[in-house]
């Protein structure tokens, strides 16, 4: 059974701080890793993907991957109240995408 684990939260951070969201996965053969943002009542929106060990930066977002530790994280710099949402980690091996249950992030003004 492939598993993707996330802390359900909520993770509360003040505006302007760095939010760190973490995800672990069980399938050592996983090849690609995705972060989706989901606002309440809305659909998941792809915000980052990473395929290789290390960091990948896109604006205020940085995805970090450590395949040896089976760990992927998402850092959000200069957090804004508009970043308040649930963040879903998803892991893929070949064609199957497995989602974690998500971490709720609350950014307070």
Partner 1 sequence: IAGITQAPTSQILAAGRRMTLRCTQDMRHNAMYWYRQDLGLGLRLIHYSNTAGTTGKGEVPDGYSVSRANTDDFPLTLASAVPSQTSVYFCASSRDRYSSYNEQFFGPGTRLTVL
Q: Report the interface residues with partner 1, using CB under 8 A.
A: 31-32, 34, 36, 42-46, 49, 51, 88, 90, 92-97, 99-102
> Does an H or E element contain 38, and which?
strand 32-38
10 or 16: CB nearest partner 1: 10
User: Strands 103-108, 11-14: parallel, antiparallel or unpaired by DSSP?
Assistant: parallel
30 or 79: CB nearest partner 1: 30
Length of the chain: 109
Cβ at position 107, least distance to partner 1 in Å: 22
Cβ at position 27, least distance to partner 1 in Å: 12
* Sequence-distant (≥ 6) Cβ neighbours of residue 104 within 8 angstroms: 8, 9, 10, 11, 85, 86
77 or 101: CB nearest partner 1: 101
């Amino acid at each position: 059974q492939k598993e993707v684990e996330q802390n359900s939260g909520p993770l509360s951070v003040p505006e302007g701080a760095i939010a760190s969201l973490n995800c672990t996965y069980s399938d050592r053969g996983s090849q690609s890793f995705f972060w989706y943002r989901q606002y309440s009542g809305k659909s998941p929106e792809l915000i980052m993907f990473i395929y290789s060990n290390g960091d990948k930066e896109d604006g205020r977002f940085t995805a970090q991957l450590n395949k040896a530790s089976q760990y992927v994280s998402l850092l959000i710099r200069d957090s804004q109240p508009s970043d308040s949402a649930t963040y879903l980690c998803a892991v893929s091996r070949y064609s199957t995408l497995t989602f974690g249950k998500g971490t709720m992030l609350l950014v307070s003004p």
